[in-house]
Amino acid sequence: MLISRRFTASILAVFALLILFQVDTAQAGRRKMVINNVDMTGIDQGGRIRDIYWPRGSGITYLYSSRPWFGALLDVDGDGQYTDTVVVNQKAGEMYPGYLDPADGQVKWSEPWSSLNDDLTANTTDLAGWPDIFKVDGEPDLRGDQDIVVAVQDMTSETFESTPYKIGIQFMMHFWAYKRDAAKDFVFVENSVINRSQYIVDESPPIQTGPFTWKDCYFAQRIDPDVGPNYSDDRSGFMKAKNLGFTFDRDFTDGGKPIGFMGVRMLATPVVNGQELGLTNWTSIQNPSDDYIVPDPTDDKTQYRIISAAPGQVLDPVYDPAKDYQFSGITGDTRQIVVSGPFDMQPEDEQSLTMSFLFAFGVDDNPAYETDEDVIAQLPNLVELADAVLLFYDLGAAAKGLPTPALSLVPGNNKVTLNWNAVSSPNPNIAVYEYRLYRSFNAAGLDPQGQPDYQLLASLEPGQSSYSYVDDDTRLINGWKVYYAITVVDQLSGELAEKLGAGIQAGEPLFSLDNTVTPATDALALNDRATLKIRVVPNPFYAHAAWDNSPTEKHVQFINLPDRCTIRIFTLSGNLVNVVRHSDGTGTENYNLRNRFGEPLASGIYYWVATDPGGDSETGKFVVVQ
């Protein structure tokens, strides 16, 4: 999955959070989902980075952001009348990263904690720091192959909208996903809320001191899909039989690429008197415009009227539980709102809302869309996936795959040795079938269309305590980075085989920067500049060879570079083609085989001159065969 796990980013108009914004990425499976620590799935760095890509590596986005909304009525002045409306969500700094530690009554900092590293090996650092509020019987509550947890609260936040109230709310978000092939296209989300009103500090503006009761509460999820590059032609619908909301691109294509459905299946809702309330409202709202029926609401009262489906509130559509299917009336930049309520919350009460985000293509490659019935005819793949969602939700931790072993990569002269230790199964119904090793010449292991761009190196049977494999393929070149991944294929038996299917269960390999290595001679390992010579690999470059990422992403690498240098590339006649600047100290720099105007290079011979800051230069040439 990927982007750096720890970095800072600005949130527009919320300057107090400039150094707080942190992310993690859920990537066990085929979708890439970014999670931050200010109560949103997704990040808004300059408004352009979206949070769910499907298939992972395709570059096609399906969701801009998603966040919980929690609405309640308060008795602010203590006169016994619950008439003051509040809806808490992260739209203007209402929430602050953190959680209340019941052991000492102090609010502690929260980051996204992930059970796995980017290469899907165990994240021992985060697991060691797993907060108690996300533990069961003293151990991290791990439900899937990858779990990510994060908490936010308003007890200590200081930036608010125009008419806010601190209510002492604690949000806890738990995401989990599975590596199994049958679960590669969905991820689970549980949002929990606790009434911590007795712990409010720094009250501004004043409100009655806690603890106090929240009345007529509604727990909602606001989902802002951007299905495909053009989000202005999206439309949403709802299928009652599966508690399944979905959003689709109006013409099921963008730029010639097929676009599927993004679904949201409700799985568990708040409980009152021992019974779940179930889904009580589904509707959609739109990005602000005079042409839209219901624009994005900006005030608490309007938000509360929408999630509570207040009489007289204009909704698109008005939720009707008697209808099998419902669709929004407007095509555009739509949002889904799924809601459960009302219920009251006393101090220390806790309620949860659990759902799954899922992704599937329509039945036809180029579906026609004229009526709502045409859309319904394309839903079977999404409906089948919604059934798998429920199956994995019910199985819980029993459906987890075997852990991924950590790879040790040892570079050699035009070769790499891969070492790892055997894994064991804690579940008697899951056995190791084999280990599979993969290699790729790009970090993602996927081309821009999300298609596999890797090679299976070997399949090794279980039975040893440790393993070693030497990759000495002739395509490995000293100084040229190569990426590896390992998967554990398991064999199911008993009840698991009955529910998930007999036979072997294999997942897709995941490549990451954690498992990259550069084959090297001793001179390269020692950075011996007197011995090393700058090279271009592969040379010659043949289009569509094994190292060619895709028809749209060709590249060569300059290797054995000094820490900093400028590379100028020329034609045979001496015309400047492009300038590449190397400054990261890695000794390697990619060149995308394009000129200064972004046009691909023609077949031919090209010269290069690399100059370091001291003025020392090396020259060479490379050949391109398109």
**Digit-coded pLDDT (tens) for 341-383:** 999 999 999 999 999 999 999 998 777 777 899 999 999 999 9
In whole angstroms, what is the distance from residue 455 CA to residue 283 CA? 46
pLDDT bin (cut points 50, 70, 90) of residue 258 is confident
- From 464, 496, 517, the end of a domain falls on 517
Helix (H) or strand (E) holding 391: helix 380-395
Residues 357 and 265 in one domain: yes
Q: In this structure, how many other beta carbons lie within 10 angstroms of the beta carbon of residue 508?
A: 19
Q: What is the pLDDT of residue 263?
A: 93
What pLDDT does residue 94 have?
A: 72
The DSSP 8-state label assigned to residue 501 in this structure reads: -
- Kindly report the average pLDDT of the chain as a whole number: 80
Task: Assess whether 509 and 568 both reside in one domain.
Answer: no
Contact assessment for residue 250 and residue 312, using Cβ atoms and an 8 Å cutoff = no
Reference 305, options 323, 330, 320, 283; nearest CA is: 283
The contacts of residue 137 (CB under 8 Å, 6+ apart) are none
146 and 262 inside one domain: yes
pLDDT of 15 over the 50 cut: no
The answer to whether residues 415 and 511 belong to one domain is yes
Determine, yes or no, domain membership for 53: yes
Q: Are residues 328 and 450 in the same domain?
A: no
Mean pLDDT of 246-275: 87
Query: What pLDDT was estimated at residue 44?
Result: 41
Do 177 and 125 lie in a common domain? Answer: yes
Pair 199, 323 in one domain: yes
Buried/exposed code over 80-112 (b: 16+ C-beta within 10 A; e: otherwise)? eebebbbbbbbbbbbbbbbbbeeeeeebbebbb
What is the rounded distance in angstroms from the CA atom of residue 490 to the CA atom of residue 460?
Answer: 12
Cross-strand pairs, 600: 594
- Which of residues 62 and 311 earns the better pLDDT score? 62
Instruction: Specify the amino acid at residue 177.
Output: A
Q: Which two tokens stand for residue 410?
A: 């040892």
What's the pLDDT band for 622 if we cut at 50, 70, 90? very high
Determine, yes or no, domain membership for 402: no
Residue 161 pLDDT > 60: no
Q: What is the largest CA-CA distance in the chain?
A: 87
DSSP 530: T
Are 561 and 497 part of one and the same domain? Answer: no
Q: Which residue has the higher pLDDT, 593 or 9?
A: 593
Contact in structure between 624 and 540 (CB atoms under 8 Å): yes
* 272 and 141 fall within a common domain: yes
pLDDT band at 7 (very low <50, low <70, confident <90, very high): very low
Whether the Cβ atoms of residue 116 and residue 176 lie closer than 8 Å to each other: no
Residue 424 within any structural domain of the chain? yes
Q: Is pLDDT larger for residue 603 or for residue 19?
A: 603
Highest mean pLDDT among 247-261, 444-458, 541-555: 247-261
8 A C-beta contact, residue 435 and residue 489 = yes
Instruction: Enumerate the β-bridge partners of residue 532.
Output: none
Least trusted range by pLDDT, from 392-406, 463-477, 481-495, 508-522 = 508-522
Neighbours of 240 (CB within 10 A): 16
What whole-number percentage of the chain has pLDDT above 70?
80
Q: CA 97 to CA 20: how far, in whole Å?
A: 7
Average pLDDT over residues 206-233: 83
116 and 207 housed in the same domain: yes
509: domain CATH number?
A: 2.60.40.10
Instruction: Compute the half-sphere exposure of residue 500: CA atoms within 13 Å on the CB side of its CA.
Output: 29
Note whether residue 400 is domain-resident.
no
CA distance 449 to 383: 24
Label the pairing between strands 617-625 and 482-492: unpaired
What is the pLDDT at residue 578? 95
The domain tally of the chain equals 3
- The C-alpha atoms of residue 515 and residue 512 are separated, in whole angstroms, by 6
List 488's β-bridge partners, or say none: 435
| pTM, entire model | 0.76
Residue 7: inside a domain: no
Regarding whether 582 and 493 lie in a shared domain, the answer is: no
The yes-or-no verdict on residue 330 having pLDDT over 80 is no
Asked if the structure places residue 6 within a domain, the reply is no
| Domain presence at residue 3 | no
Question: 297: cis peptide before it, omega within 30°?
Answer: no
In the predicted structure, residue 274 carries a pLDDT above the cut 90: yes
pLDDT confidence bin for 217, thresholds 50/70/90: very high
**Cβ within 8 Å of residue 39, ≥6 positions away:** 67, 68, 89, 90, 95, 150, 152, 171, 173
- Residue 550 is predicted with a pLDDT of 40
Q: Per mean pLDDT, which of 349-353, 408-412, 422-426, 595-599 is the most reliable?
A: 349-353
Over 70: is that where the pLDDT of 85 sits?
Answer: yes
Cα separation, 534 vs 552, in Å, equals: 26
Write down the pLDDT at residue 36: 56
Whether the ω angle into residue 321 lies within 30 degrees of 0, i.e. cis, is: no
Is the four-CA dihedral 135, 139, 145, 150 of positive or negative sign?
A: positive
Strand arrangement, sheet containing 589-591: 535-537, 556-559, 589-591
pLDDT in tens, 604-616: 999 999 999 999 8
How far does CA 299 lie from the centroid of its chain? 29
Residues 6+ apart with CB under 8 A from 517: 409, 410, 411, 416, 481, 482, 484
Radius of gyration of the chain (CA): 27
H or E element: which one contains 265? strand 261-268
Structural domain including 256 reads 15-395
What's 578's domain CATH number? 2.60.40.1930
Are 563 and 500 in the same domain? no
Domain boundary residue among 517, 540, 568? 517
* 512 pLDDT higher than 50: yes
Q: Say which residue, 353 or 19, is predicted with more confidence.
A: 353
**Among the listed ranges 95-99, 489-493, 507-511, 548-552, which one has the minimum average pLDDT value?**
548-552
**Cβ(95)–Cβ(152) below 8 Å:** yes
Mean pLDDT for 284-311 is 73
Q: Per-residue pLDDT for 291 more than 60?
A: no
* Predicted pLDDT at 426: 82
Which of 113-117, 313-317, 443-447, 495-499 shows the lowest per-residue confidence on average (mean pLDDT)? 443-447
| pLDDT above 50 for 398 | yes
Burial pattern 36-56, b for ≥16 Cβ within 10 A else e, equals: bbbbbbbbbeeeebbbbbbbb
Contact 265, 356 (CB under 8 A): yes
Say if 403 falls within a structural domain: no
H or E stretch including 220?
strand 214-224
3-state secondary structure of 133: helix
Which of 14-23, 35-44, 278-287: highest mean pLDDT?
Answer: 278-287
473, 499, 517: which is the final residue of a domain?
517
Please count the other Cβ atoms lying within 10 Å of the Cβ belonging to residue 171. 23
